[in-house]
Amino acid sequence: MNLDQNQVVRTHNPDLEGLIKLSELDKIIGQLTDVIQCEIPGHIKALEDDFVRDQTKLRKFDEEMAALTKRKKSLEAEVDDTKSKIAKANQKLPEVKTNVEYRAIMKETENFKQRITTIEDEQLALMEKMEDKEGERPAIEKQVAEDKAKLDKLKAEKTVELNSYNESLDKANAERASIIGAINPAILATYDKVRAQRAGTGLARVKDGSCMACFQIITPQLYYQIRTTDEIYRCPHCDRFLYHVPEPKPDNGEPAKGKRKKQE
């Protein structure tokens, strides 16, 4: 990756010129790293979260339906068991010898019949609920399939993008290695230390007497020295190395401010 030569300020100090090139390159490396490590994984995770959420919804739906089915079978078994108890109670009737025994059996039988009525009411409500819910599954299943298709498509696309970004990052890191070899090691070490402490920026431009990174005003003397010498100075507020970009000179061919061509 080659830097835009218009972004590089030419000075008579090779270390400062190297720092300016390095700072621009580090911005590019930072942007590439953010895309590779944060932006692309973030996009993928968002769709993964959707997929997992809808998968969970489908699983819970199936678990609920399984519980309803289990309850339905349990009620059916209880009805069969209760009917069996009624049949056994009726078999005892011919052997009854007293009215007390007869009334007891009839009372027991009546209780069994009431229990069956209660169970049948629950069975009816349960079947209605199951019928209503069965219609919901196709929509949930369809959403899971759509989520999976979107996720697979995005992963395929982002894999291609990642390969391209990783290639650009490798080139940028190689270019960085060639640049730092020409910078004074002590200056480079300070630059990297400050960059690590100051949001990835170890160098800043000065304009109108202010550091354009921390936006603090520097002294007029320091501002003058930065503009008129090739020495390397640091911001007294944020410790970043500072450089100055001269303002473009006005084109002498243009009419002076305030003058207009006479209209005929």
**Above 70 in pLDDT, residue 261?**
no
For 194-198, the CB contacts below 8 A with 24+ separation are 194/238, 194/239, 194/240, 194/241, 195/26, 197/239, 198/238, 198/239, 198/240
**Above 60 in pLDDT, residue 118?**
yes
Q: Which helix (H) or strand (E) holds 211?
A: strand 210-211
216 Rama sector, left if φ>0, alpha if ψ -120 to 50, beta otherwise? beta
Q: Report the half-sphere exposure of 187 (CA within 13 A, side-chain side).
A: 22
Q: Determine the straight-line distance between the first and last CA of the chain, rounded to whole angstroms.
A: 55
Q: Return the bridge partners of 207, or none.
A: 210
| pLDDT more than 70, % of the chain | 89
pLDDT (0 to 100) of residue 230: 86
| Domain boundaries along the sequence of the chain | 45-157, 184-247
Output the six-digit token pair for 34: 């953010």
Q: Tens digits of per-residue pLDDT, 204-225? A: 999 999 999 999 999 999 999 9
What is the spatial distance between Cα 212 and Cα 23, in angstroms, rounded to a whole number? 14
Lowest mean pLDDT of 15-29, 137-151, 239-253, name the range: 239-253
What is the spatial distance between Cα 92 and Cα 208, in angstroms, rounded to a whole number? 110
Q: Return the bridge partners of 205, or none.
A: 243
Lowest mean pLDDT of 11-20, 27-36, 179-188, name the range: 11-20
Span 45-157: which CATH code?
Answer: 1.10.287.1490
Q: Is 240 helix (H, G, I), strand (E, B) or coil?
A: coil
How far is residue 18 from each of residues 24, 152, 246, measured CA to CA in Å? 10, 44, 18
pLDDT bucket at 256, cuts 50 / 70 / 90: very low
pLDDT bucket at 263, cuts 50 / 70 / 90: very low
Cα diameter, the chain: 138
The helix, strand and coil proportions of the chain, stated in percent and rounded to the nearest 5, come to 70, 5, 25
pLDDT bucket at 86, cuts 50 / 70 / 90: very high
pLDDT (0 to 100) of residue 7: 43
Q: Tens digits of per-residue pLDDT, 160-215? A: 999 999 999 999 999 999 999 999 999 999 999 999 999 899 999 999 999 999 99
Q: Tens digits of per-residue pLDDT, 99-109? A: 998 999 999 99
pLDDT bucket at 42, cuts 50 / 70 / 90: very high
**Above 90 in pLDDT, residue 246?**
no
Global confidence as pTM: 0.68
What is the spatial distance between Cα 220 and Cα 210, in angstroms, rounded to a whole number? 10
